[in-house]
Structure 1
Amino acid sequence: MGTTSLKRSLVDIALEQIRLRIDSGAWSLGQRLPPEPELAEILGMSRNTVREAVRVLTFSGVLEVRQGDGTYVRACADPLDTMLALARGSIEQALEARAVIEVEAARLAALRRSDADIVELRQALEASESLYGSPRLDDYIAHDLAFHQRVVDSAHNPLLSELYRYFSRVIRAGLERTISEPGRPQPAFELHRQLLAAIERGDADAAATANRALLI
């Protein structure tokens, strides 16, 4: 085994050991990890190996390095693993999961939206409508997802917003394929307008119903 392969395997072991401690709750969300020398001693690894493992986990979003402060646990699951799991699903599964998020978000948006949210929703819907039917399908999809992201953002739940933003990246490629399929129902902008109107008047049930109809 060459030096590079050996180094890589040691880094993998360090990654596994850090993840196991996070998964077990030994290092909880938001907790600061021990300083590098102590961490290397705990793991029984060299400081260079530990430093590389921390770099990998920081890149993937599990850890966060705060200059002059230390390294903190940012997530209890590896976002890259989550992305891979989502990518393995079918477009039908992705759309089902999207519907679960959007319908409840629309209900919350009707109850929590601000006047500024309504302005941004109108602007996003107008931009989406203006691009429908143009040869730039990817631009239309981006603007359509932006409108739905605005709906989710209007629920004023940062976790829900981030989840949907993350999820939208996964389903975008699938939407480019399915929207252009012959015979597939095309976007119903009247339903989009009904959704916006329901959110504006604070009708949670109507907002959820309109959003659900959009995703059938």
Structure 2
Amino acid sequence: MAVTDDAIERLKNMITSGELRPGDRLPREADLAQTLGLSRNSLREAVRALSLMRVLDVRQGDGTYVASLAPDSLLEALNFVVEFHRDDSVLDLFEVRRILEPAATSKAAARMSDADFTELADVLARADANSPVEDLVEVDTEFHRRIAIGSGNPILASMIASFAGPTHAARVWRGLTQRGSLIRTLDEHQGILDALTRRDPELAAVRANAHIAGVEDWLRTATLDEAG
């Protein structure tokens, strides 16, 4: 991860210095890698990460462009990618999410219909271990959204939905940087679905808690590593 972070930091410096501006096209990969003193693989990883964070816009057959955002918005997005490990507010969001979602999942085990469970299974089938990270995160978001709605408590569902946007980037970043996290997420989703279909509220809550705690623990560890 350190190599990717270094590549991102160097691209950020090109933008903050004005060498690259919103809407500018990046130089050819070989030229840019040489300019930044990076391997082409490291540069590709950085470009992929920044495109997922909507800092860069990769246009198939055309090239890669700096997103056409206002400079302040662009720097805000870049700062998140480089410095999110120190952002306690994201950690706080996951902590609250870990309190609310097991409760919603427990209620959903009793209140969702068999047809709802079939639709949940269909959602999970949209992605597998070979899918792009962004597809898996979209499935993750939709899976949890449906369960929250299935709790039958619209206020609880609304509160959980409010965390989807602020925690999206952290979940994408985990998928890009933590080995094995994608397969683990798929397995945990299936475990939650199995508990739901068995209509076991306690087991569903336990599995939801463990699933969300995994992301929270990763983020907490990243924060400690950054501080150290």
Which range, TM-score by smaller chain? 0.5 to 0.7
For residues 15-164 of structure 1, what are the structure 2 equivalents within 5 Å?
89-127=88-126, 129-130=127-128, 132-134=129-131, 136-164=132-160
Q: Supply the distance in 1 between the matched residues of 2:121 and 2:159 (Cα, whole angstroms).
A: 23
Q: Which amino acid aligns with 2:108?
A: A
Q: Give the equivalent residue in structure 2 for 1:212.
A: 209
Q: Is 1:193 aligned to 2:195, yes or no? A: no
Q: Which amino acid aligns with 1:102?
A: E
Q: Is the 8 A contact 1:120 1:150 kept in 2?
A: no
Q: Is the 8 A contact 1:194 1:210 kept in 2?
A: yes
Q: Supply the distance in 1 between the matched residues of 2:189 and 2:88 (Cα, whole angstroms).
A: 27
Q: Give the equivalent residue in structure 1 for 2:199.
A: 202
CA RMSD of aligned residues (A): 2.2
Q: Which amino acid aligns with 1:206?
A: L
Q: Supply the distance in 2 between the matched residues of 1:122 and 1:140 (Cα, whole angstroms).
A: 14
Q: Note the alpha carbon deviations across 1:61-90, whole angstroms, 9 max, x for none.
A: xxxxxxxxxxxxxxxxxxxxxxxxxx9753
Structure 1: runs of 5 or more not aligned: 1-86
Q: CA deviation at 1:161?
A: 1.5
What SS does the corresponding residue of 1:133 show, helix, strand or coil?
coil
Structure 2: runs of 5 or more not aligned: 1-83, 215-228
Of residues 172, 176, 183, the one that matches 1:176 is 172
- Could you state the TM-score of these two structures normalised by the residue count of structure 2? 0.50
Q: Which amino acid aligns with 1:140?
A: L
Q: CA deviation at 1:122?
A: 0.8
Q: CA deviation at 1:115?
A: 2.0
Change beyond 3 A, Cα 1:154–1:138 = same
Q: Is the 8 A contact 2:196 2:204 kept in 1?
A: yes
Q: CA deviation at 1:201?
A: 1.8
Q: Give the equivalent residue in structure 2 for 1:42.
A: none
Change beyond 3 A, Cα 1:194–1:137 = closer
What SS does the corresponding residue of 1:202 show, helix, strand or coil?
coil
Q: Supply the distance in 2 between the matched residues of 1:182 and 1:209 (Cα, whole angstroms).
A: 23
Q: Supply the distance in 2 between the matched residues of 1:143 and 1:121 (Cα, whole angstroms).
A: 10
Change beyond 3 A, Cα 1:158–1:110 = same
- Could you state the TM-score of these two structures normalised by the residue count of structure 1? 0.53
Change beyond 3 A, Cα 1:97–1:179 = farther
Q: Which amino acid aligns with 1:205?
A: E
- Taking only the aligned residue pairs, the percentage that are identical comes to 27
Q: Which amino acid aligns with 2:160?
A: Y
Q: Supply the distance in 1 between the matched residues of 2:193 and 2:144 (Cα, whole angstroms).
A: 10
Q: Supply the distance in 2 between the matched residues of 1:184 and 1:174 (Cα, whole angstroms).
A: 16
Which of 1 and 2 has greater Rg? 1
Q: Is the 8 A contact 2:103 2:205 kept in 1?
A: yes
Change beyond 3 A, Cα 1:140–1:188 = closer
